[in-house]
Chains A and B, each alone.
Chain A
Amino acid sequence: MNATLPLQLDLLTTHYNYYAVVVLLGIGLYMLVDSPNLVKKVIGMNVFQTGIFLFFITLAYRSGGNPPIITEGGGPYVSPLPHVLILTAIVVGVSLTAVALALIVRIYSEYGTLDEETLEQLYYD
């Protein structure tokens, strides 16, 4: 028991990036599922995606790493690949948010509400 405790403490203190990822994913999903307001749902979607972005960027990190630019002397550098991937994913996320907000504007102008439950009643009538 005592022998394993430092290891767990070690995990707790060194992997906080991953805890942040899990917390962000959780908050995002919770907002997506539970919030009745459509705009807040979209914000939840963004938080959820940000959690994933953070996860990829954490993967790229090397402690003491330099930017991935070739210089004299070299040394460790962070992996550029996840950064590039996330740049793409951010673009995708922005487009999705734009489409979602455009749809919300249209829903609001047609139904006059952003509350999901009210909308559901109007929608199925």
Chain B
Amino acid sequence: MIEHLPVLLVVLPIVGGSVPLVAGLFTDRAGWPIATATMLVHAPLAGWLWWAVWDAGTIEYAVGGYAAPYGIELVVDGLSATVALLVSVVALGLLAYARRAGPRSNTFFSMYLLLVTGLTGMSVTGDVFNLYVFLEITGLAAYGLVASGREASSAVAALKYLIIGTVGASLYLLGVGYLLAGTGTLNMADLAGKLGSTLGYDSTLVLTAFGLMVGGLTVKVALFPLHTWQPDAYANAPDTVSAFISALVSTVSAYALARLLFSVFTVDFLTAVPAARWALLGLASVSIIAGSALAVSQSNVQRMLAYSSVSQFGLVVAGFTIATPVAVVGATIHLVGHAIMKGGLFAATGVIERETGARSVRSYAGMGARSPLAAGSFAVLALAMVGVPPAVGFFGKWYIVVGAVESGLWPVVVVLLASTLLTLAYFARLVERLYFAEPTIREGEEAAVADGGESVSTGMVAVVVTAAVLSIALIAGVPVLDSLLNETLPPLL
């Protein structure tokens, strides 16, 4: 059983996801229990896989018994196991939120599990074409989930997301074609060996492939200026979906970008072609600044959080591009921390909107008293995102900055430190309003609530509070993650 774990993690949700469709012939309420049962099996398996990697190091699995490089290979090292566990835990936790908040149809939960399939597949695959297929599965499920909102604007946002996302994935596929033409292989480990030795890192073919693949993935990660789909998608999707995709889709895409940098092109490529490293660092820096600036100017809280993601992923990509062990650990911590914090923030906005009707920055004034638990968690998560020390947001940034200082990348250090101030600029404004401003919405004159207008359940509040607690408690995981990555990543760095 243990040796089949990587493939089980991918197969389980796709099988589970097809059950609600069949069960839908008999009952409308089958989706949630089936999804929960599937994820309750999935999460311990992901934990077990993580434990196995912690125990025995990198696990390789030949799908269908065809050995790499001819067969498809699944490779799970410390980084992939961590991301797979994150996907599983967040997806399980958000089901508690989805029970009351989400669109509760059977097809919704089918797509939910399909998205888990795509994300898990992306994190465990060791094959560049397989990564493309899972990227598109993730995309398809995400487009469907965004469109599952009741308002028509969610369909417009989903179509925009679909078109931009498809161009991104297609560019990635074109890059895969270049690599295939140059080396005749699709296996990541095999490619890493052949790119340097047979083609040379500075050959036009390798550079073009790098540009196309990284360009395609940065669309999915939503780095500035390729982020335009993100605010619309996050603001128009149902609350469950905003929390889910903001926590995981960009996160796993950023993981895929890291995988591409370390396992396919390798750090030697970044060293041999400084222009590639500077281009990525430049893109990341511009993202950090522009994302923050755009976030400050938003009036809708969910749009503000979406632009905040643009900025935070700039930080993560910068960490991966610096590519020293410290910076990579930092980027991973920030990736995990951001998923918890941003998912929690979106979940909190959903609760606050249901309780008080507030959804713009202006109407958040004084809502700390009306919605104490959600607003309190929102404030904690916001401060964690800024990087106030006891929270996990601090450690990610700290490691990345230390990595940048060690590499002597002073302009990047300046941008990284400035990013904290910029993050403070838009989150402090909200926290101040929540607690110290006169309410602009009075009790009893609530605005109509989207997604069916149902009340807040205990599960929804529990998810928000758990995210806030985790944003502090995860610091206990920092040393664990540090030693795990230092054990399994060195061959790549």
Interface residues of A (CB under 8 A from B): 25, 29, 32, 38, 41-42, 45, 48-49, 52, 55-56, 59, 81-82, 85, 88-89, 92, 95-96, 99-100, 103-104, 106-107, 110-111, 119, 123
Q: Once the chains are docked, how many angstroms separate the CA of A56 from the CA of B380?
A: 50
CB distance from A92 to the nearest CB of B (A): 5
Contact A99 B177 (CB under 8 A): no
Determine if A52 and B180 form an interchain contact, defined as CB atoms under 8 angstroms apart: no
B interface residue count range (under 10 / 10 to 19 / 20 to 34 / 35 or more): 20 to 34
What is the CB-to-nearest-CB distance from B164 to chain A, in angstroms, rounded to a whole number? Answer: 9
A-B contact pairs, 7 of them (CB 8 A): A45-B166, A56-B180, A59-B180, A59-B181, A82-B177, A96-B136, A96-B140
Let me know if A119 and B156 touch, CB within 8 A. yes
Q: Which residues of A contact B167 (CB under 8 A)?
A: 29, 32, 45, 48
B133 lies within 8 A of A88 (CB): yes
- Which residue in A45, A55, A89, A106 is a CB contact (below 8 Å) of B152? A106
Are A100 and B162 in touch, CB under 8 angstroms? yes
Partner of B129, one of A85, A95, A104: A85
Bound Cα distance from A86 to B139, whole angstroms: 18
Interface residues of B (CB under 8 A from A): 129, 132-133, 136, 139-140, 143-144, 147, 152-153, 155-156, 158-159, 162-163, 166-167, 170, 173-174, 177, 180-181, 186
Q: How far is the CB of B304 from chain A (nearest CB, A)?
A: 17
- From known contacts A55-B174, A59-B177, A99-B143, infer whether A92 and B136 are also in contact, taking CB-CB under 8 Å: yes
* Residues of B close to A119: CB separation below 8 A: 156
Q: Say how far A115's CB is from chain B's closest CB, in angstroms.
A: 12
Residues of A within 8 A of B155 (CB): 103, 106-107, 110
- Is there contact, CB below 8 Å, between A104 and B159? yes
**Which chain A residue shows the least CB distance to B236?**
A123
- Residues of A close to B153: CB separation below 8 A: 123
Q: Is the CB of A45 within 8 A of B159?
A: no
- Contact, CB under 8 Å: A32 / B152: no
Of the candidates B132, B163, B173, B174, the one whose C-beta lies within 8 Å of that of A100 is B163
Q: In the complex the two chains form, is B140's CB within 8 Å of A56's CB?
A: no
Known A-B contacts A85-B129, A100-B162; the reply to A107 vs B156 at CB < 8 A is yes
Contact (A107, B159) CB under 8 Å given A52-B170, A95-B140:
yes
Contacts of B158 in A (CB 8 A): 103
**A92 CA / B132 CA spacing, docked (Å):** 10
CB < 8 Å neighbour of B144 from A32, A41, A99, A111: A99
Q: How far is the CA of A123 from the CA of B177 in the complex (A)?
A: 38
| A96: contacting residue among B166, B174, B177, B186, CB under 8 A | B166
Distance in angstroms from A99 CB to nearest chain B CB is: 6
Residue pair B162, A48 in contact (C-beta under 8 Å): no
Residue from A38, A41, A56 having most chain B Cβ neighbours under 10 A: A56
Q: How far is the CA of A89 from the CA of B159 in the complex (A)?
A: 20
Q: Which residues of B contact A106 (CB under 8 A)?
A: 147, 152, 155
Given the interface contacts A92-B136, A106-B147, does A55 sit within 8 Å of B177 by beta carbon?
yes
Contacts of B147 in A (CB 8 A): 103, 106
With contacts A49-B170, A107-B152 taken as known, whether A56 is within 8 angstroms of B159 at the C-beta atoms is no
Residues of B contacting A42 in the complex (Cβ-Cβ under 8 angstroms): 163
Known: A99-B140, A100-B159, A103-B158. 17 other contacts (CB 8 A): A29-B167, A42-B163, A45-B167, A56-B180, A59-B177, A59-B181, A82-B177, A82-B180, A85-B129, A89-B132, A92-B140, A96-B139, A96-B162, A99-B144, A100-B162, A103-B155, A106-B155
Residue of B nearest to A105 (CB): B155
B229 to chain A, nearest CB (A): 13
Q: Which residues of B contact A111 (CB under 8 A)?
A: 152
* Cβ of A24 to closest chain B Cβ, rounded Å: 12
A38 closest partner in B (C-beta) = B159
User: What residues of A have a CB within 8 angstroms of the CB of B186 in the complex?
Assistant: 81
User: Considering only CB atoms, which chain A residue lies closest to B156 in the complex?
Assistant: A123
Bound state CA distance, A77 and B156, in angstroms? Answer: 47
Chain B: which residue is nearest A85 at the CB level? B129
Q: Nearest chain-A residue to B162 (Cβ)?
A: A100
Chain B residues near A92 (CB, 8 Å)? 133, 136, 140
Q: How far is the CA of A11 from the CA of B123 in the complex (A)?
A: 41
Which residues in B have their C-beta under 8 angstroms from that of A82? 177, 180
**Bound form: Cα–Cα A32–B166 in Å:** 11
| Chain B residues with CB under 8 A of A103 | 143, 147, 155, 158-159, 162
List chain B residues, Cβ under 8 A from A88.
129, 133
For the complex, give the distance between the alpha carbons of A89 and B139 in Å: 14
Contact of B162 among A49, A59, A99 (CB under 8 A): A99
